[in-house]
Amino acid sequence: MENRLYYWELACYETSGNLPQRAIGKSNFIDLSLLPKETMREEYRRYFLYRSGQVSLNTICHEKAYYKQVCQALQLRKNIPDSFLGWQPSKWIELLKIWMLQNGIPFYKEKETLYGTISRTDAPVLQHLKRFLRFIQQRKQR
This prediction has a pTM of 0.88
Buried residues in 80-94 as b, exposed as e (16+ CB within 10 A): beeebbeeebeebbe
pLDDT in tens, 51-77: 999 998 889 989 999 999 999 999 988
- Count CB neighbours of 79 within 10 A: 4
Range of the structural domain that residue 10 is part of: 4-141
pLDDT in tens, 80-113: 999 999 999 999 999 999 999 999 999 999 988 8
CA dist 25 to 21, 65, 67, Å? Answer: 6, 11, 15
Contact 29, 7 (CB under 8 A): yes
Contact 119, 111 (CB under 8 A): yes
The domain total for the chain is 1
